Amino acid sequence: MVFTVLILLLLWVFQYFFLARYYRSARIRDMSNISDKLISAYSKGDIANEMKRMAFDNSMCIVVTDTSGRVSIAENNLGSISYFMLDLMNSSGYNMHLIKQELAESRKDELTKIVKNENIKSEEILLCRKFETSAGSGYLYIEASVDPVDSTVSIIRQQLIYITIIIFELAFIITLFISKRLSAPIVHITGTAKKFASGDFSVKFEEKGYREVGELSEVLENAKDEISKVNKLRTDLIANISHDLRTPLTMVKAYAEMIRDLSGDDPEKRNEHLGIIIDEADRLSNLVNNILELSKLESGNIELKYSDFSLHDKINSVLTRYTLLIEQNGYDISFEPDEDRTIHADAEKLDQVLYNFINNAINYSGEQKVIRIRQINREDAVRIEVSDNGKGISKELLPKVFDRYYRGEKVKRDVVGTGLGLSICKEILKKHGFAFGVQSEEGKGSTFWFEVRLHPAKELPAAKV
């Protein structure tokens, strides 16, 4: 509305105050042009026709005199009371004489002036021009009324009033329309967002409206999905962790009571029970350590301790930990190496990744109990794969396995898990700038992989998962 008012104000200033002045100077320019044409017609001897046409077309009175002031030709289209016509009728030449004198005083060839003709009660423009051509010399007088200009101006002013009213109404309607279309969806989205902020995850951001609002509601809907996912995972985590904490605690309590009441005097039994208590305590500290580790990794408070080491040595040393499991539980765990490579990474953290991948493969390998660790050398990277022939992971769950707190259905485990293993791996690999991922087919098994870069750049871009 302010913009409309500004435009109208400008229109009014220009049309109302400057139009008449502008028209007048345009008319004077016109007259000057006409005088040029007439003089060139005079030199060609065609002045009579040209004068008739000009006087008729432009409502003018045109008079040509010789140097002494005798009228040689005249044409009038202004009526009998124009200045020059009066001069002609009473042969006084009074007005013509006056203006000729002024021209002489001005020492120019052409003079124009605006006068108020009391006879016809309107303003007129008078032009006087001295000319010298090969066909003769003399004076040219032109008289024209400014009236047509005034009537045009008054028409334009009238129209301006209508235009102002129409534009105001249109602007008002458009303003209403726009504000409804622009603000209504935003008001609606704000309402939904407030509900969401107060904890109602059932709300839906589905504003269609114009493009930006559509996009905003899409972004909010995605954010809502993410937040509700994290919320659910958090609740799951608390449930999982409390369960995982309770089981070993129950065991510790039960065996401690057993030692107190029954096996305290039997060294063999007592040692066996104490062994279980120690194992369970280890489990507990493992869980707590994992939680701490993840929170440290996620907050970015961990600096990697880089060193160069042989990949073969690393994997073989990790595998020695599983000898007992291979012997006692019948697992078939083997390493299929490629040519050895020296890699640059945090050895301890890389251990953790390998342990997690292998532990998961053991836990989820099902009846097959076959686990393969493969090394595939690439030009500038080494790919390590840990595969099992277990039940695999469904397509829907696949994108979630690296998520914090995500844990699949419960399985009987040969190695303790906390549900945080893969998210710790993810953070470690991300920090190294190594690509990683998982391929899995339900019923056929899974392959978890990561790629160690051989020539890591100083600033690594985030790896693609």
Q: Is 422 in the site for ligand ADP (CB under 6 A)?
A: yes
Q: Which is nearer to ligand ADP, 127 or 393 (CB)?
A: 393
SS3 for 242-262 is: HHHHHHHHHHHHHHHHHHHHC
For residues 429 and 422, give the distance between their C-alpha atoms in angstroms, rounded to a whole number: 10
The distance of closest approach from Cβ of residue 284 to ligand ADP in the complex, given in angstroms and rounded to an integer, is: 15
> What is the token pair recorded at 193?
């967002």
The span of 70-78, 209-217, 335-343, 355-363 binding ligand ADP (CB under 6 A) equals 355-363
> CA angle at residue 253 from 250 to 256, to 5 degrees?
145
Judged by CB under 6 A, does residue 93 bind ligand ADP? no
Report in angstroms how near the CB of residue 388 gets to ligand ADP at its nearest.
5
358 near ligand ADP, judged by CB under 6 A: no
In the bound complex, what is the minimum distance in angstroms from residue 365's beta carbon to ligand ADP?
7
Among positions 127, 318, 354, 361, the unique one binding ligand ADP when judged by CB under 6 A: 361
Among 141, 196, 255, 406, binds ligand ADP (CB under 6 A): 406
Contacting range for ligand ADP; rule: CB under 6 A; set: 18-26, 276-284, 322-330, 412-420? 412-420
User: Which residues, 57 to 86, sit near ligand ADP by CB under 6 A?
Assistant: none
In the bound state with ligand ADP, the residue whose beta carbon lies nearer, of 100 and 391, is 391
- Binding mask 365-404 toward ligand ADP (x if CB under 6 A, else -) reads -----------------------x-x--x-------x---
State which residue, 75 or 427, has the beta carbon closest to ligand ADP.
427
Told to check if 290 binds ligand ADP by CB under 6 A, we report no
CB 392 within 8 A of CB 440: yes
SS3 79: coil
Residues 377, 312, 381: CA angle, nearest 5 degrees: 25
Of 426 and 432, CB closest to ligand ADP = 426
Rounded CA-CA distance 134/138 in Å is 11
Give me 298's structure tokens.
Answer: 């996620």
What span, in angstroms and rounded, lies between the C-alpha atoms of 218 and 215?
Answer: 5
Tell me the C-alpha to C-alpha distance, in Å, between residue 332 and each of 383, 392, 419: 21, 18, 24
Sole binder of ligand ADP in the list 41, 419, 432, 436 (CB under 6 A): 419
Cβ-closest position to ligand ADP: 408
> How many residues contact ligand ADP, by CB under 6 A?
20
Q: How far is the CB of 405 from ligand ADP (least distance, A)?
A: 9
User: Pick from 391, 385, 374: which is nearest to 441 by CA?
Assistant: 391
Closer to ligand ADP by Cβ: residue 408 or 437 = 408
CA distance linking residue 202 with residue 134, whole number of Å: 99
Helix (H, G, I), strand (E, B) or coil at 124: strand
Spatial distance between the Cα atoms of 361 and 322, rounded to a whole number of angstroms? 12
CB of 99 or CB of 422, closer to ligand ADP: 422
Interaxial angle between packed helices 421-432 and 347-363, expressed in degrees from 0 to 180 and rounded to the nearest 10 = 140
**218 beta partners:** none
Min separation Cβ 414 and ligand ADP, Å = 12
Minimum separation from the CB atom of position 438 to ligand ADP (A): 8
| Shortest reach from residue 458's CB to ligand ADP, in Å | 31
* CB-based contacts of 275, cutoff 8 Å, min separation 6: none
**C-alpha torsion angle, residues 104, 105, 107, 108 (rounded to 10):** -70
Q: Does 88 bind ligand ADP (CB under 6 A)?
A: no
Contact segment (CB under 6 A) with ligand ADP among 172-180, 195-203, 208-216, 421-429 equals 421-429
Least distance to ligand ADP, CB of residue 336, Å: 17
Strands 332-336 and 370-377: parallel
The token pair that represents 400 in the structure block: 């979630």
By CB under 6 A, is residue 248 in contact with ligand ADP? no
- Smallest distance from ligand ADP to CB 406, Å: 6
**Contacts (Cβ under 8 Å, ≥6 apart) of 331:** 322, 325, 362, 365, 369, 370, 371
- Within 143-202, the residues that bind ligand ADP by CB under 6 A are none
Output the smallest distance, CB 364 to ligand ADP, in A: 3
- Measured from the CB atom, the residue of 25 and 394 that comes closer to ligand ADP is 394
Q: Find the part of the chain contacting ligand ADP (CB under 6 A) among 102-110, 139-147, 173-181, 411-419.
A: 411-419
- For residue 88, what are the contacts with CB-CB under 8 A and spacing of at least 6? 63, 71, 74, 76
Residue at 223: amino acid letter:
A
CA gap 60, 38 in Å, rounded: 13
Residue position matching structure tokens 């409309």: 4
The residues that touch ligand ADP, with contacts defined as CB under 6 A, are 356, 360-361, 363-364, 388, 390, 393, 401, 406-408, 417-423, 446
